[in-house]
Amino acid sequence: MLATKPVRLQIGELLAADPTTLAPVANANKVVLIKSAFTPNELLTPADLTPADFDGSTAKLAAVGTQQAGLDPATGDQVITIVEPVGSWRWETTGTTNLPQTIYGYGLYDNTLATLLGIALLPAPLTLQIVGQQINLGTVAMTVVAQPLN
C-alpha cells in the first residue's frame, strides 16, 4: 500500500521533531565525513564506514531540537533539513596528518557515533592534499520521496 500525501507529509514532520532520532533535546547528532568508498543503502552501520581523520576532520554538531521540514516544489518530495552549526557544514585541512585523503561522502550519526541515521555520497569524491583545502556540504538534508520507484 502506498501512503497518501497527507500521511507521507506527517511522517516527515514527526521525524523532524522526533527526540529519539533527528531532534534530540540534548547531545546533538553529528555529521561525519567518510573516507571509505561506500554504496548508500539503508542497511549500512557505523562499522561499514571509515570516518575521515585528517587534521580538521572533527565531526560537526547539528542543532538540537526540531529540524526543518518542507516540500521540494520540483519533485513533491518532503525534505528534512538538518539545522547546521555555527560555521556551517564546512571542514578545512589544518595540518598534514593523513593527507592525501579522499572523502566519498558523509553520515548523520547520533551523538555517540553508535547509530547511523543517514548517509550521502558527495557528487564526486574529493581528495584533500594540502593544508587549507576545504569541503563544504552546503545543506545536509534527508528526503522522504513522494512515490518510490517500482
73-106 pLDDT per residue, tens = 998 888 999 999 988 999 999 999 999 999 999 9
- Given pLDDT bands bounded at 50, 70 and 90, which one contains residue 147? low
Tell me the per-residue pLDDT of 40-57, one tens digit each, with 9 for 90 and over: 998 999 999 999 999 999
Q: Is residue 150 part of a domain?
A: no
- Residue 149 resides in a domain: no
Distance CA 140, CA 120 (A): 9
User: What DSSP string runs through 37-72?
Assistant: -----TT--GGG--B--STT-PPEEPPSS--EEEE-
pTM value is 0.92
User: Which residues form the domain of 111?
Assistant: 5-144
Q: Indicate if the pLDDT at residue 148 is higher than 70.
A: no
In a domain, residue 32? The reply is: yes
Percent of the chain with pLDDT over 70: 97
Residue 39 lies in a domain: yes
Q: How many domains does the chain have?
A: 1
